[in-house]
Amino acid sequence: TEIAERIGKHVSRIVEDGDTIQVGYGSIPNAILSNLSSKNDLGVHTELFTEGIAELMKMGVVTNCKKTIDRDKTVAAFCMGKKKTYDFINDKPCIEFRSIDYTNNPAVISRIRNITAINSALEIDLTGQATAESIGRTFYSGIGGQADFMRGAALTEEGKTILVLQSTAQDGTVSRIVPFLKEGAGVTLTRGDIHYVVTEYGIAYIHGKNIRERAMALISI
């Protein structure tokens, strides 16, 4: 969608040449990957291998040559894609599938010097707490791997954490950026886990800011 594409363009401003990326799944992550085609020497250490990652590898954007661990290897735990994605990964020594206790281990992730973890949420409050699991008492998902990757990336030198979300829901009638998470919502990411928050309206950097500064930055997007 146009909104996902705008979010993807904003994220591409944060991702730098040589970064190792982790990206979740969905329309926004796909748009993010499609906007990284002008980058150089990206690495991949992620939970999910997608068609977008395969395309970046075909284009020579993902080379993994700058990774501090698993150099020259795209590392993932599982794959979801079209048949051409599975044909691409077949018999590729440069793609390595590892178990979740390796790919999602914050201690392993923190050894990747310049990893950029990119994940999405359902709702974020003005202090920076986010839920990717539920709206109030209604559950949509589980914690998944995003907390592992975001915390691992926050621990490493030059690591970055990016939370992406559409600014509104229900055809623009409900804000996803709220004063407080709804009662009963699970806090998937604490206010210390997130560096950047990106919506279709721009980028807010909240790491290290006090509560008022965080609120003003989030209101601006």
Render pLDDT for 166-191 as a digit per residue (tens, 0 to 9): 999 998 899 999 999 999 999 999 99
Residue 98: pLDDT band by 50, 70, 90 thresholds? very high
On the question of pLDDT at 115 being above 80, the answer is yes
Residue 27: pLDDT band by 50, 70, 90 thresholds? confident
On the question of pLDDT at 103 being above 80, the answer is yes
Residue 75: the pLDDT is 98
* Average pLDDT of the residues in 81-90: 94
On the question of pLDDT at 109 being above 90, the answer is yes
Average pLDDT, the chain: 94
Residue 144: the pLDDT is 85
Token pair, residue 129, equals: 């707490």
* Average pLDDT of the residues in 73-99: 95
* Average pLDDT of the residues in 37-60: 96
Q: What is the pLDDT of residues 121-155, one digit of tens each?
A: 999 999 999 999 989 999 988 888 999 999 999 99
On the question of pLDDT at 208 being above 90, the answer is yes
* Residue 28 neighbours by CB under 8 Å, 6+ apart: 4, 7, 8, 120, 164, 165, 166
Does 47 participate in catalysis according to the annotation? yes
Residue 157: the pLDDT is 83
Residue 74: pLDDT band by 50, 70, 90 thresholds? very high
Residue 28: the pLDDT is 87
Q: Whole-structure pTM over 0.85, yes or no?
A: yes
On the question of pLDDT at 26 being above 90, the answer is no
CA angle 144, 212, 10 (to 5 degrees): 55
* Average pLDDT of the residues in 14-21: 96
Residue 24: the pLDDT is 82
Residue 20: the pLDDT is 97
d(C-alpha 71, C-alpha 157), whole Å: 17
* Average pLDDT of the residues in 30-51: 94
Q: Which of 16, 47, 157, 158 is catalytic?
A: 47
